[in-house]
Amino acid sequence: MTLHKQPWVWIIVFSLVLSGAIIFFADDVSFFAEEEVVVVVNDEKMSKKEFNMVLQQAQQNQEERRAVSGEYFSEEDIKKTAVEMAIDQLLLVSYAKKLDLTVSDKEVDDFYGEIIGHDPGIKTKAELFNAWEDEGFNRREMERQVQVYLFYDKMYDYYLEKVEATDEDLKESYDDYIAWLKEIDVKDEDAMPFEEIKEELKEFIIQEKALDMMEVEIENFRNESNIEILI
């Protein structure tokens, strides 16, 4: 398992937590009990306090888009985006369980170790949990986010095993590479030979096919799922 694999729109917000960002909105929390369920997908539920984490991530994403495009996003737009992100998270976990994928305690501990290894100010799991608690999260809430990430990782590996790169795929990918070089005015003789980049092309094709298949099958699962929005 490696940290470079990233979910689509439900990227885990550990970087926000460890950098000291405030994830929940006090005004919102005052209207709801912290454990009140606000989104349900099949048997998976998300509390209001957990949703506030997703809401903050949606706000950050929209602010980044606004900085690039100048497009304005209302509070309602951000909330709708957050609801979709929450649904995606719960849908992912529900679908992973349908595939009989599991996450072991060791895998969770290894993931904590990776997080700790990326922050020089945190050296133990206890310090990590304290950092989360200082930002308003308890251990259970953050374990939900860890669960989402690890289930995504397991599912990604599951689909990698279901696809392959054919000779036709490799030829098409190499042709695309040559066409791209021509677009940027690179001479044919300067192109890397097929045999030298064959394995790299193969890896790229398999990853792309796995993600495409995974996205299609999750969307099919969404269409047959019971989704409740209670916020």
Angle between helices 105-117 and 139-160 (to 10 degrees): 100
CATH class of the 14-162+218-229 domain in this structure:
mainly alpha
| β-pair type (37-41, 227-229) | antiparallel
pLDDT in tens, 24-44: 333 333 334 557 899 999 999
Q: How far apart are CA 194 and CA 171, in angstroms?
A: 9
DSSP string, 22-49: --S-HHHHTTS-TT-EEEEETTEEEEHH
DSSP state of 9: S
* Pair 92, 155: CB distance under 8 Å: yes
Residue 64 has pLDDT above 50, yes or no: yes
**Torsion angles phi and psi, residue 157, rounded to 5:** -65, -40
* Pair 128, 109: CB distance under 8 Å: no
| β-pair type (37-41, 44-47) | antiparallel
- The pTM assigned to this predicted structure is 0.73
pLDDT in tens, 80-104: 999 999 999 999 999 999 999 998 8
CA–chain centroid gap for 94, Å, is: 15
CB atoms near residue 183 (< 10 Å): 8
* Pair 20, 30: CB distance under 8 Å: no
Residue 176 has pLDDT above 70, yes or no: yes
Q: How far apart are CA 146 and CA 124, in angstroms?
A: 17
DSSP state of 192: P
Residue 222: band (very low, low, confident or very high) from pLDDT cuts 50, 70, 90: very high
